[in-house]
A = this chain, B = another copy of it.
Amino acid sequence: MRSHTYNDTLGSASIMARILNGKALAAEIQRELKDNIANWMSLGHRAPSIRCILVGDDPASHTYVNKKITAARNVGIDAEVIRHDVTISEEMLIAEIEQLNRDSDVDGILVQLPIPENMSERKVCCAVAPEKDVDGFHVTNIGKLCVDMSTLVPATALAVIEMLRRFNIETLGRNAVVVGRSKNVGMPIAMMLHSDNKHENRLGMDATVTICHRYTPKEQLAFFCQNADIIVSATGVPNLIKADMVKPGATVIDVGITRVTDANGKSRLVGDVDYDGVSTVAGAITPVPGGVGPMTVAMLMQNTFQAARSLRDKSLK
């Protein structure tokens, strides 16, 4: 089903991969979501709401949170940032989360990571009530995802699955490689990719999945990638996936995002994939930026609306 475009700019006849434009798809999903939220509110519900907790002054975290708040407001979600100085104690932070858990005007709670190193990320993430955990990091939500129950799913992982679906990439019985085993990204992607689509959450993609990571020898990583119909890389290692590791026609999803400074001192964002090389071999590829990143924000908005509806359904029972 993939379409080819000829690389005219290079004056050659080499076939270029279809670009999976995450930015455009995210915009489309957010338009749908805006309509759905407006319809839902026309039934008398208040706007879905999200609170983003931001600790400290990491510039990247501020950028991410601002993107989330802007996107939320654009689709009709009531969104506020709660800022804290880096000196806040874990105890105080958890007390605040618990207060938000009890607040019936709040549907989604997000703690922007990373949090200060003297705090336990696991403890803080698990303080969020599972039904308001729009990041899907609570162990109960992870557990539900892993047994294919309907739940709030980590947004980046959901973004990858949603892109495969909406771009009609076949997965059933295909070989997929997930590079990276982080608990918030690589692991849930591998979980959905290999699971049974007939189960409750319908997120299973029925692919044969190989999970590679820091201890996978380089030549074995190449071996598995060369045999893969789908490669999902989520490591933060620039240029890890090169053209000679990719089977012609394969789909390559680049979840990595790393800020690098080039020889001219200019800073830019790159993924895990050698985009220029791989796009001459792959059948489809996500750009960085403009691929998985914007889709992650869209999935977070989707999760917030899902949380709002579930909480409303629950309160009616």
A73 to chain B, nearest CB (A): 32
B220 touches A208 (CB 8 A): yes
A144 to B143 alpha-carbon distance, docked (Å): 7
Q: Enumerate chain B residues within 8 angstroms of A147, measured Cβ to Cβ.
A: 122, 139, 142, 183, 187
A213-230 CB mask vs B (1 if < 8 Å, else 0) is 101110010011001000
B183 touches A148 (CB 8 A): yes
A148 to B146 alpha-carbon distance, docked (Å): 13
A212 touches B208 (CB 8 A): yes
Stoichiometry, as copies per complex, reads: 2
A138 to B181 alpha-carbon distance, docked (Å): 23
A143 touches B139 (CB 8 A): yes
Secondary structure of the A contact surface, majority rule: mixed
The verdict on A206 contacting chain B, using a C-beta distance below 8 Å, is yes
> Can you offer 28 A-B residue contacts whose CB atoms are under 8 A?
A122-B149, A138-B143, A139-B149, A140-B140, A140-B143, A142-B143, A142-B147, A143-B143, A146-B146, A146-B183, A146-B191, A147-B183, A147-B187, A172-B215, A173-B215, A173-B216, A173-B220, A181-B194, A187-B191, A190-B211, A208-B210, A208-B211, A208-B213, A208-B215, A208-B220, A209-B211, A210-B210, A210-B224
The 6 closest A-B pairs by CB, nearest first: A143-B143, A139-B143, A210-B210, A173-B215, A142-B143, A208-B216
Q: List the interface of chain A (C-beta within 8 A of B).
A: 122, 138-144, 146-149, 172-173, 175, 181, 183, 187, 190-191, 194-196, 206-213, 215-217, 220, 223-224, 227
